[in-house]
Amino acid sequence: ELKVEQNPLFLSMQEGKNYTIYCNYSTTSDRLYWYRQDPGKSLESLFVLLSNGAVKQEGRLMASLDTKARLSTLHITAAVHDLSATYFCARTTSGTYKYIFGTGTRLKVLA
Amino acid sequence: EAQVTQNPRYLITVTGKKLTVTCSQNMNHEYMSWYRQDPGLGLRQIYYSMNVEVTDKGDVPEGYKVSRKEKRNFPLILESPSPNQTSLYFCASSFGGGRGYNEQFFGPGTRLTVL
């Protein structure tokens, strides 16, 4: 079964702290995506990870991909309130153009 | 401005009354897709289209139809809506499909309530 699991589902953290969101997937994937959704809003693309060992960084967010472990991580450095949102990982299945999304991680950064 | 538009943004309807949610993109994207978002379930893909006249089922296609007669438009049709189709719907588009760099651009969403 094709699955994408994120953890934690909810994360409340203090400003200035570091934390990591994990995204595990069940079968070989072409590529891995991270999206952000603000409350009541649409989704915004953050990162596309194309190959094993890929690492991308934008501001306080860094995403990485380990295809052997079937794991992607989204690391938050020195969190600020503006990062409060729900973060989704997603993958495409090899040989098709289907997208499978994780259930999301709701992040709340407390001042 | 590059964008994906959806209409309507909000819709309340009754069981069995056919409806169409429109989706349009102005970025000349080949790939378009429909998702529904439900609490605790993330986004689930309903249908997708690789190009004009090419569509395929996602994970939850039952009760929905789509068509892709023009590259820019990808309407979602509910022939006989039921309460379990109450959800938040997103349309998205991207270059290519699952190949190449292909971040998806999402529309603003359509909140549908079926009574």
Domain that holds residue A59: 4-110
> Residue A96 pLDDT > 90, yes or no?
no
A39 shares contact with chain B (CB less than 8 Å): no
Predicted pLDDT of residue A44: 96
Average pLDDT, rounded, for chain A: 91
* Residue range B97-109, pLDDT digits in tens: 555 557 899 999 9
CATH code for the domain in which residue A71 is found: 2.60.40.10
Residues of chain B contacting A, Cβ within 8 Å: 31, 33, 35, 40-45, 48, 50, 56, 58-59, 90, 92, 97-99, 101-109
Q: Convert A21-78 into a string of H (helix), E (strand) and C (coil).
A: EEEEECCCEEEEEEEEECCCCCEEEEEEECCCCCEEEECCEEEEEECCCCEEEEEECC
**pLDDT at residue number B59:** 92
Average pLDDT over residues A77-104: 89
- Tell me if the bond preceding B108 is cis, omega within 30° of 0: no
**Mean predicted confidence (pLDDT) in B86-103:** 82
pLDDT at res. B21: 98
Q: Is the pLDDT of residue A109 over 90?
A: yes
B42 neighbourhood in chain A, CB within 8 Å: 4, 88, 101-104
Does the CB of A44 have a partner CB in chain B at under 8 Å?
Answer: yes
Question: Whole-number mean pLDDT of chain B?
Answer: 93
Q: Which residues of A touch B110 (CB under 8 A)?
A: none
> Does the pLDDT value for residue A18 go beyond 80?
yes
Alpha carbon of residue B51 to chain centroid? 14
CB contact under 8 A, A30 and B98: yes
Q: Which two tokens stand for residue B42?
A: 């993330």
Contact check, Cβ <8 Å, B90/A31 = no
Q: Reply yes or no: is the peptide bond before residue A8 cis, omega within 30 of 0.
A: yes
The pLDDT value given to residue B87: 98
Copy the structure tokens of residue A60.
Answer: 């306080």
Q: Is A88 in the B-facing interface, judged by CB distances under 8 Å?
A: yes
Give residue B23's pLDDT: 98
Query: d(Cα B60, Cα B36) in Å, to the nearest integer?
Result: 9
Domain count, chain A: 1
